[in-house]
């Protein structure tokens, strides 16, 4: 099993990321090392619950925990304040106390929603992330960003709240629908673009084996992606500087998700389209060589991820002003410079973004 350590700010809030294959049955034993209360709240969705809910309940019960089980509907549209309120009601009814941990079993939506509930219930109860999608294993479960969506923007209602443990079993990805696996690759490709040209080249060389869940290729991909995020989050927990580069592709990606009411794109698909648009913007500004942009677009296409923004550019642009990355009224854009290197840019003009979006409609 791979062990990584996140040390965000103060070392007393550090936590482990455990990555293995076939290690789900050991979850209870690892939780016992965290000195949690005997009652846990297991939060999942209807899809993951049908696959792993009973199994994880049994694993936790065998470890001596009393488990309160909450299932929420499956879908990004349910990552909302309404669903969070229903979760609070269930937690109160179950007698969840301050020492009772919330265990988030699922993908990015479940992790964000359950994490937000853990962060705000009784001013914060312990959180354990058990990610079951590629996107969640390499990205959303790590780093402490938890949130729910607002009608005018994604993740607008949230906070930074670090988990006590991230526990990933890559074997559960075997039940992941192919579209979800490909969507997770959007975030993996992002890591190569922002920080690791070697990882990007590895993905170009081994994409088919990765999509086939070849164990060694999958393990290397998840480990390297998590290691990049660990390094960044440990240096900049609250996104005051470096951590903003993790938002590459997300500015336009979030706008596309909001514009389509979270019903057209998976998150990684929207990020892919956002990365392609950002790369075109960078080429237009003379910041990035067109050959690097073409390599990115080619890899995204091979992964069958979107590389176009088919909606009116003015509609997308109207949503960008509500993006969380707006700072002092100016939109922060993550600009790719080459494969493995980006910069944070606040001088991008509206007309430049519109021009790139128009290119991406063609």
pLDDT band for 13, please (50, 70, 90 cuts).
confident
pLDDT tens-digit profile of 153-184? Answer: 899 999 999 999 999 999 999 999 999 999 99
| 171 counts as catalytic | no
CB atoms within 10 A of CB 283: 19
- Residue 329 pLDDT exceeds 60: no
CB atoms within 10 A of CB 333: 25
- Assess contact for 22 and 11: CB atoms under 8 A: no
Helices (H) and strands (E) in the chain, counts: 14, 13
Among 224, 250, 266, 293, the one annotated catalytic: 250
| 267 counts as catalytic | yes
Among 154, 243, 266, 324, the one annotated catalytic: 243
Among 71, 76, 187, 237, the one annotated catalytic: 187
What span, in angstroms and rounded, lies between the C-alpha atoms of 213 and 226?
A: 17
What span, in angstroms and rounded, lies between the C-alpha atoms of 221 and 214?
A: 11
| 71 counts as catalytic | no
Distance (Å) of CA 101 to CA 40, 54, 84, 98, 104: 5, 18, 16, 8, 10
Among 57, 182, 229, 295, the one annotated catalytic: 229
Could you tell me the domains of the chain? 2-175 (3.40.50.1970), 178-359 (1.20.1090.10)
Among 57, 182, 190, 267, the one annotated catalytic: 267
| 2 counts as catalytic | no
pLDDT band for 331, please (50, 70, 90 cuts).
confident
| 250 counts as catalytic | yes
What span, in angstroms and rounded, lies between the C-alpha atoms of 166 and 31?
A: 11
Among 149, 154, 247, 293, the one annotated catalytic: 247
pLDDT tens-digit profile of 37-96? Answer: 999 999 999 999 999 999 999 999 999 999 999 999 999 999 999 999 999 999 999 999
């Amino acid at each position: 099993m791979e062990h990584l350590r996140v040390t965000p700010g103060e070392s007393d809030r550090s936590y482990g990321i455990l990555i293995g294959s076939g290690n789900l049955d050991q979850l209870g034993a690892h939780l016992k090392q965290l000195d949690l209360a005997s009652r846990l709240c297991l939060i999942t969705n209807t899809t993951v619950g049908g696959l792993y809910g009973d199994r994880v309940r049994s694993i936790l019960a065998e470890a001596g925990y009393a488990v309160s089980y909450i299932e929420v509907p499956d879908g990004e549209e349910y990552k909302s304040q309404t669903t969070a309120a229903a979760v609070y009601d269930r937690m109160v009814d179950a007698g969840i106390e301050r020492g009772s941990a919330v265990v988030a079993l699922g993908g990015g939506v479940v992790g964000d929603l359950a994490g937000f509930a853990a962060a705000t219930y009784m001013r914060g109860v312990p959180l354990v992330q058990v990610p079951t999608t590629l996107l969640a294993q390499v990205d959303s479960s790590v780093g402490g960003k938890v949130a729910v969506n607002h009608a005018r923007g994604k993740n607008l209602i949230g906070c930074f709240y670090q988990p006590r443990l991230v526990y990933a079993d890559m074997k559960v990805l075997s039940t992941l629908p192919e579209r979800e696996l490909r969507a997770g690759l959007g975030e993996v490709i992002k890591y190569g673009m922002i920080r690791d040209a070697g990882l990007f080249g590895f993905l170009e060389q081994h994409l088919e084996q990765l999509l086939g869940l070849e164990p060694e290729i999958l393990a290397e991909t998840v480990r390297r992606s998590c290691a990049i995020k660990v390094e960044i989050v440990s240096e900049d927990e609250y996104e005051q500087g470096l951590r903003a580069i993790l938002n590459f592709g997300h500015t336009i990606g979030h706008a596309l998700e909001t514009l389509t009411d979270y019903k057209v794109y998976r998150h990684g698909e929207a990020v892919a389209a956002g990365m392609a648009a950002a790369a075109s913007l960078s080429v237009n500004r003379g910041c990035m060589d067109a050959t690097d942009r073409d390599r990115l677009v080619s890899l995204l296409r091979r992964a069958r991820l979107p590389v176009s923004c088919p909606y009116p550019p003015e509609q997308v642009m109207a949503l960008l002003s509500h993006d969380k990355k707006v700072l002092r009224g100016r939109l922060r854009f993550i600009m790719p410079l080459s494969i493995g290197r980006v910069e944070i840019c606040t001088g991008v003009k509206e007309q430049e973004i519109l021009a790139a979006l128009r290119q991406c409609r063609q």
